[in-house]
């Protein structure tokens, strides 16, 4: 009876630190290229799936990648703003349906996306609980937001201040959750959707406060004329919008110049898309129109170029590691010459010695394989999150 | 019966040369080999066990010419018929005492472990006074305990020939007697031939015969 695996196991268990180091080295070298492949495949999937379903994007001139990343994945890049006039422009062209986006604010770590109800229809999203936003201050939240913040219809979520040290900043707005989106496995799961006007209220372009005509404390009235009343900042500002104070909310200035970060343009057909693109190219304008698919393809092209470089580095590291492991094994066998000669002296055949060493190597490789496989499974499980954090947000 | 005839072996830069014209050792005989260091006592044990082969001459054990066997046949013969107690024990540090004793069974197809073998291993360990150390690694044993574990390993296969290279060299006087008794008892039980290299002259009277390696300077039958 030859107990190669038993003896090999005894050796490995006795020299556990050496074995563990070897296992870690082999696992890491095996893990790296596979992990890279998984992450890149997932990033390609995540980036492309959304880009291909968004035909055209209009935004301020500047970095087109920032515009696409912000509008499609609500990333932290902040493109320059365009105004509501841009929506009118697309609308009046009759070439595409405009879906405005304003993604400047956050509620905790979740982006607040100011848009219209067309957005849900365009993305094919369904509201599984509750209803869509219908008035100022109402919000529809993504499935992950609902799950992580344990929010339900009827609950509320506060917008986060842009800058904690901005003393003149606007008050956080308490938004009422009216609906929860079905899980979509996209960034929309991690977003808070509100009407555009709600985002302008968060920005301070619109606000609500107690009726100045009914102010009893005279010290709060700085001046009073037939046309206007000027008050001090002591008057009560509403930080929540409800049916009682809805009427008190109003906007200042020209709504046509209110800001947006982008417009998703859904053309009637390919011809309309080409004409619309042509118009933006030929005009002297501070706006740009992009096909998100092309922008993402360019980005992926760069990523895959980097991947080829990383692959080469991993290959060189792997060769170096294999040589190092070979050296470790050969030095180990040299150190074990006495042990091997003992086994031979006892009457063990040379083929059995090779079998014993082979069993040791096999166990180490199996352990490394198992560790690498487990790590890849974990990576696969979290690949969406990791890719989102690494490449998108 | 072990029969050595016209054996010649030489090696090394120092010109070591062993020449045994004739040597006969009967079955179940207990032979002590004495001689100066470097005279070839250990080499003789290695020749008998087939670990090394002579340049000339024949070593016959029970009618089988050991030095004419192929490498594989020689190893099979050795592991099944010869128990070797090495001078420096040659125990494996990654195995506990029990696994070291049973080691010969795990490295060949010709032997297998069953409950009889395990019983024998325990009995031998008891006789050698290391039964409570069976689960210990050899790095945690004293020199004497290592020696006893090595003796157990050599005897657990119930060999026909026991070759002991300074088997009692690391033991205190009381243990020496005890271990030698166990060795003799085991050899008697299996009707095994015992060939022991020793420097302990007070033990020599217990052997059937003493071979002094000085005589191999001359020529003749022993």
With an 8 Å Cβ cutoff, are A1 and B93 in contact? no
Q: Do B109 and A342 touch (CB under 8 A)?
A: no
Tokens of B201: 């002259």
* CA A107 centroid distance within chain: 15
* Interface with B, mutate which of A347, A349, A356 (most B CBs under 10 A): A347
Percent of all residues in chain A with a pLDDT value above 70, rounded to a whole number: 91
The reply to whether residue A348 touches residue B108, judged by beta carbons under 8 angstroms, is yes
Chain B: residue nearest A344 by CA?
B75
Find, in chain A, the residue whose alpha carbon is nearest to that of B100. Answer: A7
Name which residue leads in pLDDT, A185 or A181. Answer: A181
Q: What's the DSSP call for residue B54?
A: -
> Which of A247-256, B136-145, B203-212 bottoms out in mean pLDDT, i.e. has the lowest?
A247-256
Structure-token pair, residue B119: 């019983």
Strands B64-65 and B56-61: antiparallel
Mutate to test the interface with B, among A19, A346, A355 (most CBs of B within 10 A): A346
Select the residue of A14, A348, A352 nearest B94 (Cβ to Cβ).
Answer: A14
Q: Which of B47, B106, B156 to mutate to test the interface with A (most CBs of A within 10 A)?
A: B106
Distance (Å, whole) CA A229 – CA A236: 15
Nearest alpha-carbon partner for B126 in B87, B106, B97, B160? B97
| Interface membership of A352 toward B (CB under 8 Å) | yes
Ramachandran quadrant class, B129 (left: phi over 0; alpha: psi -120 to 50; beta: rest): left
User: Could you say which of B90, B99, B105 has the minimum Cβ distance to residue A342?
Assistant: B90
Distance from CA of B204 to the nearest CA of A (A): 27
**Residues of chain B contacting residue A5, judged by C-beta atoms under 8 Å apart:** none
Q: What is the pLDDT of residues A215-225, one digit of tens each?
A: 667 676 667 77
A10 touches chain B (CB under 8 A): yes
Structural domains for chain B? 2-217 (3.40.50.300)
Helix (H, G, I), strand (E, B) or coil at B24: strand
B-chain CB neighbours of A345 within 8 Å are: 49, 51, 84, 86, 90
Q: pLDDT grade, residue B218 (50/70/90)?
A: very low
User: Could you read off the pLDDT of A22-80 as tens digits, one per residue?
Assistant: 899 889 888 988 898 898 888 888 888 889 999 999 999 989 999 999 999 898 878 88
| Torsion sign (Cα): A308, A313, A316, A321 | negative
Distance (Å, rounded) from C-alpha A35 to C-alpha A390? 13
pLDDT at A393 over 70: no
Distance CA B105, CA A353 (A): 14
pLDDT at residue B177, rounded to an integer: 84
What is the per-residue DSSP string for B76-139? HHHHHHEEEE-TT----TTSBHHHHHHHHHHB-SS----HHHHHHHHHHHHHTT-GGGTTSBGG
Q: Which residues of chain A make contact with B113, given a CB cutoff of 8 A?
A: 1
Contacts of A368 (CB under 8 A, 6+ apart): A22, A23, A26, A27, A30
């Amino acid at each position: 009876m030859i107990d190669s695996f038993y003896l090999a196991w005894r050796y490995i268990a006795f020299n556990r630190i050496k074995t563990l180091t070897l296992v870690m080295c082999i696992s890491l070298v095996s893990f790296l290229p596979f992990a890279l492949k998984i992450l890149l495949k997932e990033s390609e999937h995540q980036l492309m799936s959304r880009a291909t379903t968004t035909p055209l994007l209009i935004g301020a001139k500047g970095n087109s990648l920032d515009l696409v990343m912000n509008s499609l994945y609500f990333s932290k890049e902040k493109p320059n703003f365009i105004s509501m006039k841009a929506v009118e422009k697309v609308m009046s062209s009759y070439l595409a349906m405009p879906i405005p986006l304003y993604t400047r604010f956050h509620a905790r770590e979740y982006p607040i996306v100011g848009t219209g109800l067309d957005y849900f229809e365009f993305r094919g999203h369904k509201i599984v609980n509750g209803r869509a936003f219908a008035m100022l201050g109402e919000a529809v939240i993504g499935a992950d937001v609902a799950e992580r913040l344990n929010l339900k219809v009827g609950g509320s979520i506060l917008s986060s201040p842009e800058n904690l040290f901005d003393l003149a900043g606007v008050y956080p707005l308490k938004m009422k959750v009216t609906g929860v989106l079905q899980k979509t496995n996209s960034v929309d799961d991690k977003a808070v959707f509100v009407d555009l006007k709600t985002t302008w209220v968060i920005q301070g372009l619109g606000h609500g406060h107690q009726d100045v005509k009914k102010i009893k404390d005279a010290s709060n009235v700085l001046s009073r004329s037939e046309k206007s009343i000027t008050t001090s900042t002591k008057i009560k500002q509403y930080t929540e919008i409800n049916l009682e104070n809805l009427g008190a909310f109003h906007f200042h200035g020209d709504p046509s110049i209110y800001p947006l970060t982008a417009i998703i343009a859904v053309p009637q057909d390919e011809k309309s898309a080409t004409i619309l693109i042509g118009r933006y190219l030929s005009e002297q304008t501070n706006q740009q129109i992009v096909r998100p698919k092309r922008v993402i393809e360019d980005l992926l092209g760069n990523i895959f170029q980097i991947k080829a470089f990383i692959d080469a580095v991993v290959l060189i590291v792997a060769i170096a590691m294999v040589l190092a492991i070979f050296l470790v094994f050969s030095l180990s066998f040299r150190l074990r010459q006495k042990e091997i000669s003992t086994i031979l002296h006892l009457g063990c055949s040379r083929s059995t010695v090779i079998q014993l060493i082979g069993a040791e190597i096999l166990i180490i490789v199996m352990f490394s394989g198992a560790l690498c496989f487990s790590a890849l499974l974990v990576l696969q499980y979290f690949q969406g999150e990791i890719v989102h954090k690494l490449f998108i947000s | 019966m072990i029969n050595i005839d016209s054996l010649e072996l030489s090696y090394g830069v120092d010109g070591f040369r062993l020449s045994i014209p004739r040597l006969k050792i009967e079955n179940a005989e207990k032979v002590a080999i004495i001689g100066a260091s470097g005279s070839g006592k250990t080499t003789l044990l290695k020749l008998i066990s087939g670990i090394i082969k002579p340049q000339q001459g024949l070593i016959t054990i029970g009618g089988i010419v050991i030095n004419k066997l192929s490498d594989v046949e020689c190893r099979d013969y050795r592991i099944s018929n010869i128990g070797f107690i090495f001078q420096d024990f040659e125990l494996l540090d990654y195995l506990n005492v029990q696994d070291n004793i049973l080691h010969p069974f795990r490295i060949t197809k010709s032997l297998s472990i069953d409950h009889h073998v395990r019983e024998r291993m325990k009995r031998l360990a008891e006789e050698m006074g290391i039964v409570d150390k069976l689960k210990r690694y050899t790095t945690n044993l004293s020199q004497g305990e290592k020696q006893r574990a090595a003796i157990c390993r050599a005897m657990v296969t119930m060999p026909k020939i026991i070759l002991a290279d300074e088997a009692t060299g690391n033991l205190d006087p009381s243990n020496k007697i005890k271990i030698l008794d166990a060795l003799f008892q085991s050899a008697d039980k299996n009707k095994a031939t015992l060939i022991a290299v020793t420097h302990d002259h007070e033990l020599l009277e217990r052997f059937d015969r003493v071979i002094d390696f000085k005589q191999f300077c001359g020529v003749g039958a022993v």
